[in-house]
Amino acid sequence: MKSKLTSEELKQELCKKFKVLEFIDLASIAVRPTVGFTVFKNQYKEVFEPDERIVFYTGQSVGAKTLAYLQYAADLFDVSRCFVLVCCAETNNPVIDNDIEFMIADLDSEPFDDSNMISVNSICSLPWFHSEYMGVSKICCFNSEYAQDGTIVEFFNSDKINSLRTQLLSGEYPSSCDVCWTSESKGFSSLRQWRNKTHKEEFFTEYLEQPKIRSLVVFPSTVCNFKCRSCGPDKSSLWAQEELAYAPNEFEKQKLFELISSTQWFNSNKSKEIFDLWPTLEYIDIYGGEPLMNKQFKELLQTSIQSGVASKQRLHFNTNGSLFPVELIELMHEFKEVTISLSIDDIGKRFEIIRGGTWAEVDHHVDLFLSCNPEIFKISGQVTVSNLNVLYLDELLSWAENKKLPLTLQMLSSPEHLQYDRVTQTVKDLVVKKYHNHPNQTLQNIANSIQKALPVDGLDWVAKMTRLDSRRKQNMLTSHFDLATGMGYPDFLAESQLE
């Protein structure tokens, strides 16, 4: 009986035909997934020689999870799949069109089982290095699982988060992460995907084996100069003031006072842990409200600078574009990198109606942000897609293209009545007609998704929009005529006048 090849014999045979750049036992990756990711990170180069190969081998069969892992890792680090060679006993996957080369070999190697590979389809980097805090701890802004008690570190190391990590590695899709799963199923880029890509080098080659808080999102307060229609009193102080002004009774006023008080946690002793953690962080996200209005923003920046760690930290924050604080921008030059996401969901008068402020000022501030030193400042637009802007996204994309402003589109999840596919049949038809053959793939995906969605009668939407119009002395018919008409705005107003 012919004996099996040893790994060294296999390598010698392969070297007669290829330039073997790496020769990795798949068993080592099943035990330590960072091994494979590190290989692709280290082997990246702009051009490969035709005969160069990154080789993975095993004496056992290779299944779907291993193939998915190798494809994902290669794509993540921009290594063409055609330079990947897998030597194995057999494969139960169709190898056609997957761009990875397979070679069947009778090989003596360490035990390997495809089922032990991690699932790259469900993995999310956040539970391994990230936490969020606004009086209570969360693992991300969308996850529905809260920790009401204990410290940030206790929550991060809790059985609850350890269980979440296990689920994500094994290929489960926890319901608490539904916002991302839903976004991805509809063709949107999710927070999970964005974070995985943004932190690919650190997470996949290091953090995956060493969970530790290296990234923190802080909401110091809800102070804000906007009251976006998709927001509410729990996120915007201006919204809270409006709700107070229209509260129907003392009971509702008291609830609002308690809500406002609970969002001012940073002024209490609870902020001590934040300042203790601050110098140990690599990634910092500061949100609001409007972060640039928070008096604590400057204090947090100065903490990094005075601790001598700012040059090693990456700062990120969202802003509505209404402010360009020169003093804070100067302080930000001390940081390794500053990523600024401009929350812009529309342009012109429509921007002013659905978000607030003066569009001319915001448009000017976008230019100022884009003029910042690109070696430090990374500027992009973040678009929340809702039924308020779904009919006008093409105009927003054209504006951003002229500015050379990269955009990220994300799907609004709350409030439900503003979700982009909760529209009447009339608006459905308008969206599908406008985008079904659009050159932008995301707009095509939106059209396809809306076409499959069940239409709504629009009554709840119109009732809520007309209430805000009445309070704010606005009229959506003047800014969003096609949308408002399609949702039944004129009919609602006519019936109200008859009553």
Same-domain check for residues 346 and 245: yes
Same-domain check for residues 314 and 390: yes
Same-domain check for residues 90 and 158: no
Sign for the CA dihedral angle at 70, 71, 73, 78 comes to positive
Same-domain check for residues 370 and 315: yes
Q: Which CATH number goes with the domain that contains 289?
A: 3.20.20.70
pLDDT of residue 497: 56
Same-domain check for residues 230 and 307: yes
Same-domain check for residues 23 and 112: yes
> Is residue 158 assigned to a domain?
yes
Same-domain check for residues 192 and 230: no
Residues 6+ apart with CB under 8 A from 9: none
- Domain boundary, last residue among 404, 420, 436: 420
Same-domain check for residues 134 and 101: no
Segment-wise mean pLDDT, segments of 10 residues, the chain, 499 residues: 82 96 96 97 95 96 93 95 93 64 90 94 95 86 72 90 94 93 86 91 94 93 94 93 94 90 78 90 93 91 96 96 96 97 97 96 98 97 97 98 95 94 97 95 93 95 95 95 94 61
- Domain boundary, last residue among 209, 226, 242: 209
Domain count, the chain: 3
Q: In what order do the strands lie in the sheet with 52-57?
A: 19-25, 52-57, 84-88, 101-104
pLDDT of residue 146: 63
> Is residue 194 assigned to a domain?
yes
Burial of 371 (C-beta count, 10 Å sphere; 0-12/13-18/19+): exposed
Q: Is the pTM of this model over 0.75?
A: yes
For 218-264, give the DSSP string.
E------S---TT--TTT-HHHHHHHHHH-SSHHHHHHHHHHHHHTT
Same-domain check for residues 294 and 391: yes
Same-domain check for residues 171 and 238: no
- Domain boundary, last residue among 178, 209, 240: 209
pLDDT of residue 1: 44
Q: Which residue segment(s) compose the domain that 88 sits in?
A: 7-116
pLDDT of residue 273: 87
Same-domain check for residues 338 and 257: yes
> Is residue 266 assigned to a domain?
yes
Same-domain check for residues 160 and 303: no
Summary count for the chain: helices (H), strands (E):
24, 14
Residue with tokens 């009086």: 135
> Is residue 81 assigned to a domain?
yes
pLDDT of residue 493: 67
> Is residue 459 assigned to a domain?
no
Residue with tokens 């539904």: 178
Quick: pLDDT tens for 335-382: 999 999 999 999 999 999 999 999 999 999 999 999 999 999 999 999
> Is residue 496 assigned to a domain?
no
> Is residue 83 assigned to a domain?
yes
Distance CA 455, CA 419 (A): 12
Q: b/e for 71-107, b at 16 or more Cβ within 10 A? A: bbbbebbebeeebbbbbbbebebeeeebebbbeebeb
> Is residue 454 assigned to a domain?
no
* Closest CA relative to residue 483, chosen from 391, 399, 402, 349: 391
Answer for the pair 25, 57: CB distance below 8 angstroms, yes or no: yes
Answer for the pair 123, 196: CB distance below 8 angstroms, yes or no: yes
